[in-house]
């Protein structure tokens, strides 16, 4: 007997996930993967149909979804302006490509995507690009290197690189990304520490507690927050999400507290004086301290720093906050809660083990991927203030062979994204890491920090700071240099900056920023300024 999906009309209307992927790729003229389609199903963007375990998509519903997306893109073009360079939106790249290999080794606010760096550094990447700015064997400088995106992409292209950042933690991230690793030794050390962590956990109650909590949560969520049916009802206003979510949150709290008492779990720490005291539950803090102490015993500095990055990434994911507030940290969360992001009751983290294993495995994978792409190009990442750092002296001390190349050919140019005035607190975003590893914070040396705001005095200070960085960098640049600064210049500060630095703007590339991972995903436009000597 034929089912609904066996009729000829249904075969044309209903597609399996692979067929839907092929149809969407053809309709949109860009690659849409089966995982992209599965994502739409999982998050209730489109319905799933089927029987006997098969999953089908209604082609008309898929078309309606993508037509709305196309309409939204056209509306953004009107809002952001007709002078946008849409080739620089890189919207055709999947998220996995925008965070390829070591670029996702550790979270970092405000970094640009590697494809933007490739566009300006690679002289083969775009047939429409008329000028060549950098060549293999050149040296590029990033005076605000952050998590090292420019340096990593320069290495891929055989371009030497120098990075400078005022944050010691940022420099450690960059150096771990670029280091040549003994992957076997790294994996072996991770395996040893993971076994020790498991043994440590086996002596405590929080693992059994969390297992039973998860089991009860799964049953509760399956009954009251079925996916994707619940999210679809919310979007159709058939359910008042806030009222319903709060009511069910309250209902589950009794189950939560019963389990706390059953397993005798201490939730909060005895004090709340530091970031680590305030934002981590007691069981998590104990495991963080255990891992830190174990990593401190490692003698190989390369392995130690890499494991420190894994620990930092793990710690960030284990903060006592809601899933929706990871980037903002409003108030510590110590109970189960209704999660708007996932549309169900979620819980705080009670153990680092799962994240530690996940990130350790991911780090090995990403380092191995980059190892196949890396070139012998030199790289140095320095801790310092780019307004006055002696680049040549620092490079000579770090890498004499690289210094000889630097002295001979000078730096070909800069590719960087300076901090946006009054937008991000670059030290505070990694406050946990500074406390764990004992790095000295140098908030006072940040240019345009969040705490100074965006008023007239803050903008004047920003102009002075960025121009001083460029003036200092000119000492080490060759004569016909090229400087590219990625900026959201809503206050029109860069004409003054370039004047003070004795340079001129020879071009501006206005690009739409569409693929954002922050909680606020609204699109905006940013400018890549091209500077040369006046």
Three-state secondary structure readout of 399-412: CHHHHHHHHHHCEE
Q: Please report which confidence band the pLDDT of residue 11 belongs to, taking 50, 70 and 90 as the band edges.
A: low
pLDDT computed for residue 42 by the predictor: 76
pLDDT computed for residue 29 by the predictor: 85
pLDDT in tens, 104-156: 999 998 888 999 999 999 876 655 566 889 999 999 999 999 999 999 999 99
Look at 220-224, 383-387, 524-528 and tell me which has the smallest mean pLDDT.
524-528
Q: How many CB atoms lie within 10 A of CB 236?
A: 8
pLDDT surpassing 70 at residue 439: yes
Contacts of residue 345, defined as CB under 8 A and 6 or more positions apart, other chains included, come to: 217, 220, 221, 224, 225, 248, 249, 252, 336, 337, 338, 339
Alpha-carbon distance of 341 to 143, in angstroms, equals 36
pLDDT surpassing 80 at residue 427: yes
Per the CB < 8 A criterion, the answer to whether 306 and 176 are in contact is yes
Three-state secondary-structure class, residue 239: coil
Pairing of strands 477-487, 411-416: parallel
Alpha-carbon distance of 298 to 304, in angstroms, equals 6
pLDDT in tens, 17-26: 999 999 999 9
Residue 228: is the preceding peptide bond cis (ω within 30°)?
yes
Alpha-carbon distance of 294 to 301, in angstroms, equals 14
Better-predicted residue by pLDDT, 424 or 395: 395
Label residue 321 left, alpha or beta by phi (over 0 means left) and psi (-120 to 50 means alpha): beta
Better-predicted residue by pLDDT, 323 or 515: 323
Average pLDDT over residues 185-196: 98
Q: What percent of the chain has pLDDT over 70?
A: 94
The tokens describing 150, both together, are 């420019």
Supply the pTM of this predicted model. 0.84
pLDDT surpassing 60 at residue 1: no
| Burial of residue 208, with CB atoms counted within 10 A of its CB: 0-12 exposed, 13-18 middle, 19 or more buried | middle
The residue to which tokens 């909060």 are assigned: 268
Helices H / strands E in the chain, number of each: 21, 11
pLDDT computed for residue 384 by the predictor: 97
Q: What is the DSSP string of 260-299?
A: HHHHT---S-S--SSHHHHSS-HHHHHHHHHHHHHHHT--
Per the CB < 8 A criterion, the answer to whether 503 and 479 are in contact is no
Alpha-carbon distance of 132 to 121, in angstroms, equals 8
If we measure between CA atoms, which residue out of 267, 269, 278, 280 comes closest to residue 317?
280
Average pLDDT over residues 291-306: 97
Better-predicted residue by pLDDT, 207 or 255: 255
Pairing of strands 477-487, 503-513: unpaired
pLDDT surpassing 80 at residue 10: no
Pairing of strands 139-142, 411-416: parallel
401 Cα distance to chain centroid: 33
pLDDT computed for residue 111 by the predictor: 86
pLDDT surpassing 90 at residue 358: yes
The tokens describing 48, both together, are 């799933």
pLDDT computed for residue 238 by the predictor: 93
Alpha-carbon distance of 520 to 513, in angstroms, equals 12
Alpha-carbon distance of 95 to 470, in angstroms, equals 33
Q: Please report which confidence band the pLDDT of residue 517 belongs to, taking 50, 70 and 90 as the band edges.
A: very low
Q: Please report which confidence band the pLDDT of residue 5 belongs to, taking 50, 70 and 90 as the band edges.
A: very low
Average pLDDT over residues 357-372: 97
Average pLDDT over residues 66-89: 77
Partners of 164 in beta bridges: 382
Q: Please report which confidence band the pLDDT of residue 87 belongs to, taking 50, 70 and 90 as the band edges.
A: confident
518 Cα distance to chain centroid: 9
pLDDT surpassing 70 at residue 41: yes
pLDDT in tens, 459-513: 999 999 999 999 999 999 999 999 999 998 989 999 999 999 999 999 999 988 8
pLDDT surpassing 50 at residue 330: yes
If we measure between CA atoms, which residue out of 526, 523, 446, 454 comes closest to residue 486?
526
Q: Please report which confidence band the pLDDT of residue 348 belongs to, taking 50, 70 and 90 as the band edges.
A: very high
Mean pLDDT of the chain: 91
Pairing of strands 503-513, 524-533: antiparallel
Alpha-carbon distance of 71 to 419, in angstroms, equals 33
What is the CATH code of the structural domain delimited by 86-173+374-417+468-487+505-533?
3.40.50
The tokens describing 78, both together, are 């009107």
Q: How many CB atoms lie within 10 A of CB 397?
A: 12
pLDDT computed for residue 7 by the predictor: 55
DSSP state of 155: H
Q: Please report which confidence band the pLDDT of residue 33 belongs to, taking 50, 70 and 90 as the band edges.
A: confident
Q: What phi and psi, each to the nearest 5 degrees, are found at residue 222?
A: -65, -35
Measured over the CA atoms of residue 294, residue 295, residue 300 and residue 301, the dihedral's sign is negative
Q: Nearest-5° angle of CA 174, CA 481, CA 142?
A: 15
Domains in the chain: boundaries:
4-80, 86-173+374-417+468-487+505-533, 183-365
Per the CB < 8 A criterion, the answer to whether 95 and 32 are in contact is no
pLDDT surpassing 70 at residue 520: no
Alpha-carbon distance of 5 to 56, in angstroms, equals 9
Look at 1-5, 319-323, 412-416 and tell me which has the smallest mean pLDDT.
1-5
Alpha-carbon distance of 527 to 534, in angstroms, equals 20
pLDDT computed for residue 328 by the predictor: 75
């Amino acid at each position: 007997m034929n089912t609904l999906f066996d009729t000829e009309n249904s075969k044309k209307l209903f597609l399996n996930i692979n067929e839907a992927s092929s149809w969407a790729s053809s309709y949109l003229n860009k690659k849409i993967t089966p995982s992209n389609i599965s994502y739409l199903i999982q998050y209730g963007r489109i319905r799933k149909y089927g029987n006997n375990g098969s999953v089908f998509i209604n082609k008309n519903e898929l078309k309606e979804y993508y037509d709305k997306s196309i309409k939204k893109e056209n509306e953004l073009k009107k809002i952001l302006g007709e002078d946008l360079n849409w080739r620089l939106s890189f919207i055709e790249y999947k998220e996995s490509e925008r965070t390829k290999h070591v670029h996702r080794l550790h979270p970092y606010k405000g970094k640009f995507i590697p494809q933007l760096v490739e566009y300006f550094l690679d002289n083969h990447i775009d047939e429409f690009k008329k000028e060549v700015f950098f060549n293999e064997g050149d040296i590029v400088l990033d005076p605000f290197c952050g998590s090292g995106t420019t340096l990593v992409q320069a290495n891929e292209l055989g371009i030497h690189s120098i990075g400078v950042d005022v944050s010691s933690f940022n420099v450690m991230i960059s150096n771990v990304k670029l280091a040549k690793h003994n992957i076997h030794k790294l994996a072996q050390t991770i395996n040893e520490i993971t076994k020790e962590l498991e043994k440590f956990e086996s002596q405590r109650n929080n693992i059994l507690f969390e297992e039973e909590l998860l089991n009860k949560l799964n049953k509760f969520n399956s009954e009251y927050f079925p996916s994707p049916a619940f999210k679809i009802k919310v979007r159709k206003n058939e359910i008042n999400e806030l009222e319903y979510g709060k009511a069910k949150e309250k209902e589950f709290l009794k189950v939560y507290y019963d389990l706390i008492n059953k397993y005798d779990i201490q939730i909060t720490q005895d004090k709340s004086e530091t970031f680590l005291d305030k934002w981590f539950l007691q069981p998590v803090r104990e495991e963080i301290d255990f891992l830190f102490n174990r990593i401190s015993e490692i003698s190989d500095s390369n392995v130690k720093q890499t494991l420190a990055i894994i620990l930092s990434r793990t710690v960030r994911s284990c903060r006592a906050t809601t899933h929706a507030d990871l980037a903002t940290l409003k108030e510590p969360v110590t109970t189960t809660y209704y999660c708007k992001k996932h549309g169900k009751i979620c819980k705080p983290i009670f153990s680092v083990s799962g994240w530690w294993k996940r990130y350790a495995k991911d780090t090995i994978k990403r380092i191995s991927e980059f190892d196949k792409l890396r070139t012998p190009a030199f790289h140095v990442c320095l801790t310092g203030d780019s307004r006055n750092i002696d680049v040549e002296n620092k490079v000579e001390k770090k890498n004499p062979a690289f210094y000889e190349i630097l002295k001979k050919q000078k730096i070909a140019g800069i590719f960087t994204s300076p901090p946006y005035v009054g937008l991000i607190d670059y030290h505070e975003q990694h406050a946990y890491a500074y406390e764990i590893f004992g790095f000295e914070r140098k908030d006072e040396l940040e240019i345009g920090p969040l705490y100074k705001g965006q008023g007239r005095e803050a903008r004047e200070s920003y102009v002075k700071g960025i121009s001083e960085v460029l003036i200092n960098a000119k000492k080490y640049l060759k004569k016909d240099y090229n400087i590219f600064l990625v900026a959201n210049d809503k206050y029109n500060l860069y004409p003054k900056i370039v004047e003070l630095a004795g340079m001129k703007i020879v071009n501006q590339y206005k690009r739409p920023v569409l693929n954002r991972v922050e909680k606020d995903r609204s699109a905006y436009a940013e400018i890549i300024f091209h500077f040369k000597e006046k």
